[in-house]
A and B are shown apart, each in its own frame.
Chain A
Amino acid sequence: MTAAPPVIRIRGLSKSYQRGGQFIPVLEGVDLDVNEAEFIALMGPSGSGKSTLLNLIAGIDQPTGGTIEIGGVNIAQLREGELADWRAAHVGFIFQFYNLMPVLTAFENVELPLLLTSLGRAERRRHVEAALAMVRLTDRMDHYPNELSGGQQQRVAIARALVTDPTLIVADEPTGDLDRVTAAEVLDLLDELHRELGKTIVMVTHDPKAAARAGRLIHLEKGVLVPNAEVAADPH
């Protein structure tokens, strides 16, 4: 047990959609704490609400009820513009299909989040080069995504997620589109980030190999957390 408060504190979180005249609940009364520098994996069958939970934590969706405190800020209460600014400062994204801009080079893709800060050009360059060095893609920085392999693209995406030194890294099926060998490489990288940089990582995954890298597994089913299913995995 750590003395510091959890970096993510979720209480009574619920989310439902309206379709036709009906309310369809996706998450109901979720309570969750995530400590700083934890690496957690959200798992569950299709339709369990795990992606929705991730989206809410990442601030790209807003809950119907409950609170989400991240770094002391209740993001459930932020207005859209404030939420956007919050994300820019606090969240790094890793997507299943990399989500890089095809018309921007690796360098420019990694630079994107920095454009939302007030850093000057030279400063931005330094941060980008550092991030690309960390994912070991310095020699490819002027390549376009279609000139990179899947694994390389995901590494660029990881560099982009890191470049603003965010509070939180959110990963949605990061290995979903990769073969076994490349997936392992990417997971190694995530491990490194977690251990060496102390990043807090919340990951949604189907892949047991990916889940194995996480420190804690959280299961969801039909919009609620499955208690006692939390397993502390072997730290690798």
Chain B
Amino acid sequence: MKAIPFSYIARNLWVRRVTTLLTAGGMALVVFVFATVLMMGEGIRATLVATGQPDNVLLLRKGAGAEINSGIERAKAAMVESLDGIATDGEGRRLVSKEPVVLINLPKRSNGKPSNVTVRGTSALGLELRPQVRVIEGRMFRPGTSEIIAGRSVASGFRGAALGETLRFAQRDWVVVGVFDSDKTAFDSEIWGDAEQMMAAFRRPVYSTLVLRLNQREALAGLKAAIEADPRLQLDVKPETQFYAEQSEALATFIRILGLSLSVIFSIGAIVGAMITMFAAVAQRVGEIGTLRALGFRRGAVLVAFLAESLLLSLVGGVVGLAAASGMQAVDISTTNFQTFSEIAFQFRLTPAIAGQTLLFAMAMGFIGGFIPAWRAARLKIVDCLRAA
């Protein structure tokens, strides 16, 4: 079947510029919402998933679910430290970090409103276990002091957390001696200090988490079995990557469902717009349709031509919306993660998959909106078209 030339299709959109702009504009807005939401979910997921190191394992009290709900006594921690399968560093120290994790309430710089920030008591071992973390300003805190280092997002987002500033909590003044960057992972939203000092200040003689590195990946099974075999150690053992993936699930899922429902509802408006535009296009060009059919172009060619026009229209809207959404990548946002009850900072993340899904969504709108008018155009009788022209 010979097709009606593409230049006919494309130029008709240009000739009716106002209509094209309004219709494509409406679609661009819907596409923007759709893409932005997907990018938000992906950003949260990427931030949290990247937080986990492949050979690290996290231990929490059984059933705790989140670090702040968990409590592991010193004795139990000591028992874990002595198990098989744990890697050692160059100096022969076992790579186990025993960390108390609490939330403190700090006012944001932007509006003064308070939000919960994660404070993690750790040590040089803790730093070793997270190779993605680098101190970019100042220096690491000295053990046994009230010095703290702040993650990049906390330092810039919360009052009193920048280099040289002081935070007051648990009846002590804590000086920020350094700012660290964790390569766009969850640690950017945390404050780190000396574990023993934290436990003393908060009067919590228990750890929240044990983080350790396996000497080889296969050691995980053995470690899990050893812990389960001991009834005194009521602990959950999770690879770090799995733990952090689970932490993002609720929030990412919520955003995705909310956003997709909204996009679908909005798309009805855009589809209606496309339908109106295409019906008008057909009505206006009835004479041309009759002429093309008289010349010998088939009904199918007419259907394809008008459908292509609608798809092209939606593609324009889709590209514009996607471009605008892509601009959101420059924006830093943060929100409270329901599961951890603390702030997490993240970015909008555009992936090729999201770009593809977005354009498909746009074209789907164009297809649905344009199909009935194109179908009607193809069903017209030649003589009726020519008479109406």
Direct A–B contact in the complex, CB atoms closer than 8 angstroms: yes
Residue contact B295 to A112, C-beta cutoff 8 Å:
yes
CB contacts under 8 Å to A, within B335-389, are 382-383, 386, 389
Cα A61 to Cα B293 in complex, Å, equals 11
New A-B pairs, 4, CB < 8 Å, besides A84-B297, A108-B5: A84-B296, A99-B290, A99-B389, A101-B291
Least Cβ distance of A24 to chain B in Å?
15
Contact residues in A for B293 (Cβ distance below 8 Å): 60, 84
Cα A80 to Cα B299 in complex, Å, equals 9
Residue contact A88 to B295, C-beta cutoff 8 Å:
yes
Residue contact A60 to B386, C-beta cutoff 8 Å:
yes
From A88, A103, A116, contact of B12 by CB (8 A): A103
Contact with B along A156-168 (1 / 0, CB 8 A): 0000000000000
Contact residues in B for A93 (Cβ distance below 8 Å): 291, 294-295
Contact residues in B for A95 (Cβ distance below 8 Å): 291, 386
From A60, A89, A108, contact of B382 by CB (8 A): A60
Q: Output the nearest chain B residue to A83 by Cβ-Cβ distance.
A: B296
Chain B contact surface mostly = helix
The total of chain A residues at the interface (CB under 8 A) is: 24
Least Cβ distance of A189 to chain B in Å?
20
B205 at the interface (CB under 8 A from A): no
B113 at the interface (CB under 8 A from A): no
Residue contact A103 to B8, C-beta cutoff 8 Å:
yes
Residue contact A113 to B295, C-beta cutoff 8 Å:
yes
Contact residues in A for B2 (Cβ distance below 8 Å): 115-116
Contact with B along A69-89 (1 / 0, CB 8 A): 000000000001100110111
B85 at the interface (CB under 8 A from A): no
Q: Output the nearest chain A residue to B10 by Cβ-Cβ distance.
A: A103
A182 at the interface (CB under 8 A from B): no
Question: With contacts A60-B383, A61-B382, A95-B291 known, is A104 near B296, CB below 8 A?
Answer: no
A102 at the interface (CB under 8 A from B): yes
A48 at the interface (CB under 8 A from B): no
Contact with A along B104-117 (1 / 0, CB 8 A): 00000000000000
Contact residues in B for A116 (Cβ distance below 8 Å): 2, 295-297
Contact residues in A for B15 (Cβ distance below 8 Å): 102-103
Residue contact B7 to A104, C-beta cutoff 8 Å:
yes
Residue contact A60 to B294, C-beta cutoff 8 Å:
yes
Q: Can you name 9 A-B pairs with beta carbons within 8 Å?
A: A60-B294, A61-B382, A93-B294, A95-B291, A99-B290, A99-B389, A104-B8, A104-B11, A112-B295
Least Cβ distance of B183 to chain A in Å?
53
